Amino acid sequence: MKTHPLYLNGEWVVTETTHAVVNPAKAEPFARMSLIDRSRVAQALNDAHAAFLSWRQITGKARGEFLQKIAAELDRRRDGISRLITMENGKPLAQSLTEIAMAVDHLRWFAEEARRGYGRVIPNQVEGKRHLVIKTPIGVVGAISPWNFPLVLGVRKAASALAAGCTVVLKPARQTPLSSVAFAECVDAVKLPPGVFQIVAGSASEIGQEFLQNPLCRKITFTGSTSVGQILIRGAAECVKPLSLELGGQAPLLVFEDADLEKAVDGAMIAKFRNTGQSCIAANRIYVQRPIYQRFLDLFVAKTKALKIGDGLLVGVQIGPLIDDEAAAKAAQHIEDAVAHGARLLCGGRRLKERKGFFFEPAVVADVPDRGLCMQEETFAPVAPVCAFDTEAEVIQRANASNFGLSAYAFTRDLGRTFRLMESLEAGMIGINDGVPTTSQCPFGGVKQSGWGRELGLEGMDAFLETKHISIGIA
């Protein structure tokens, strides 16, 4: 079994201490990942800082050219890397390829943005002075990414920080480090200067503490659970370290009686079942207006039953395994709880015990009351709770009755309603007649307990830039 290396200061480092990487479709290890201890992570931050001193000096255009070359490498290697993503994460191969295409697009977007770290010239208030606002890179960035989109969420962080002139130490998730190693191979192939981008792995809490406590690390960017986000917030309080946090979601999906029903069903299918339901912007609660409730359910259940479940490497599979047994147990518990609250299980909902992997049949549960667990907590599985509503005002209130606010979806053809929803739904991203709102050029992030700050778009690079006011006396 191959032991994959870390990428440290331009060197490939294989260590004695390793952990197993499990293929969730087979519930067995297929590779090992090298691990380092906290003092070696501190060394990586030192090296990243040394690299920062020159990386920040080169032009944005030159940094962008590196990112374009990395994008080309990633694109060229997509067949091999997509198999790796599927093997460590479980998602169907077609979705791994989409993930790579999105990562390539992020790199290209930020390659172009690298040239545009604009400042401002501000008219002076008194004579004899001039005022400038300039943007400078924040410094070394500690990036922590999760397992559900193992490539693109790390690349998203790296591309924006590198474009801004920062250097990056990335810690991928324990379950899925290999996509990041494959990305580092692309970085290495284009001869990015040593230390500008590095990969570390080891104890997550120790690496997190090193990022927090080491003064050379100037910012942490994190995607993951709200509970780990809270650990980082507590640690950041000690040293006043800036954080960008993309945390949990609990997205409502609203279908109004004036919607194009077929499109609404297709939108709900993708918003719910993409990545086997393991997406922070997954539709977790589906509200359908009463006059079309039964018709929606009929179509939605038929399409859910037709989903092909299996090993993501096999052609045509649409639903892969969950990441582990715990995830399958949580999905089963959410369904049990909904049924105990009077909901009806219309299809699926079974852990496929006859298979070795962590497979769970996509489920639709109807008439789930708002107090059901799956209406309150992120399920992170192919479980779709559906319930009826009567009025727009009522459903907006129910949709917003959550501590989370990452994404929301609505299907309607009424223009006035569209604007009312845009303005009143409490979410950082809203898909109107669109189940897949994410795109490189628009900000990605949440409100309330879904996090702080934005990735992607103009905001994505600004997150890694300091704003400085320069006042010049010229008299």
CA dist 101 and 87 (Å) reads 18
When binding is defined by CB under 6 A, the residue of 144, 163, 182, 395 that contacts ligand ADP is: 144
224 scored as a contact of ligand ADP (CB under 6 A) = yes
* Residue 301: both structure tokens together: 């259940």
173 scored as a contact of ligand ADP (CB under 6 A) = yes
> Smallest gap, in angstroms, from Cβ of residue 215 to ligand ADP?
18
Nearer to ligand ADP, 191 or 234 (CB): 234
CA dist 460 and 467 (Å) reads 14
Nearer to ligand ADP, 69 or 91 (CB): 91
* Active-site position among 166, 186, 217, 280: 280
* Residue 449: both structure tokens together: 């307990």
Total binding residues toward ligand ADP, as defined by CB under 6 A: 14
> Smallest gap, in angstroms, from Cβ of residue 145 to ligand ADP?
6
When binding is defined by CB under 6 A, the residue of 26, 56, 174, 303 that contacts ligand ADP is: 174
- Among 77-85, 117-125, 222-230, 359-367, which window interacts with ligand ADP (CB under 6 A)? 222-230
> Smallest gap, in angstroms, from Cβ of residue 210 to ligand ADP?
10
* Residue 420: both structure tokens together: 């009312």
* Active-site position among 88, 246, 361, 426: 246
- Among 96-104, 170-178, 256-264, 310-318, which window interacts with ligand ADP (CB under 6 A)? 170-178
Helices 60-76 and 152-164: crossing angle, nearest 10°? 160
> Smallest gap, in angstroms, from Cβ of residue 241 to ligand ADP?
13
Taking phi first (over 0 means left), then psi (-120 to 50 degrees means alpha), and beta for anything else, what does residue 302 get?
alpha
Residues 6+ apart with CB under 8 A from 207: 38, 41, 142, 144, 171, 200
Closest CA to 244 of 260, 268, 221, 275: 221
What CA–CA distances, in Å, run from 168 to 52, 231, 387? 9, 21, 44
CA dist 48 and 216 (Å) reads 9
Q: Is 246 a catalytic residue?
A: yes
Q: What character string, x for contact with ligand ADP (CB under 6 A) and - otherwise, covers 228-247?
A: x--x----------------
CA 442, 443, 445, 447 torsion-angle sign = negative
Q: Is 387 a catalytic residue?
A: no
286 scored as a contact of ligand ADP (CB under 6 A) = no
Nearer to ligand ADP, 173 or 427 (CB): 173
CA dist 254 and 264 (Å) reads 9
When binding is defined by CB under 6 A, the residue of 13, 58, 190, 204 that contacts ligand ADP is: 204
Window 434-473: residues binding ligand ADP (CB under 6 A)? none
Nearer to ligand ADP, 216 or 228 (CB): 228
CA dist 300 and 305 (Å) reads 9
Query: What are 252's strand-pairing partners?
Result: 285
Residues 372 and 286: beta-carbon distance below 8 Å: no
Nearer to ligand ADP, 32 or 108 (CB): 32
Residues 221 and 444: beta-carbon distance below 8 Å: no
For strands 28-34 and 11-13, give the pairing.
unpaired
> Smallest gap, in angstroms, from Cβ of residue 304 to ligand ADP?
24
- Among 94-102, 166-174, 309-317, 329-337, which window interacts with ligand ADP (CB under 6 A)? 166-174
Which spans of this chain sit near ligand ADP (rule: CB under 6 A)?
A: 144-147, 171, 173-174, 204-205, 208, 224-225, 228, 231
Residues with a catalytic annotation lie at: 246, 280
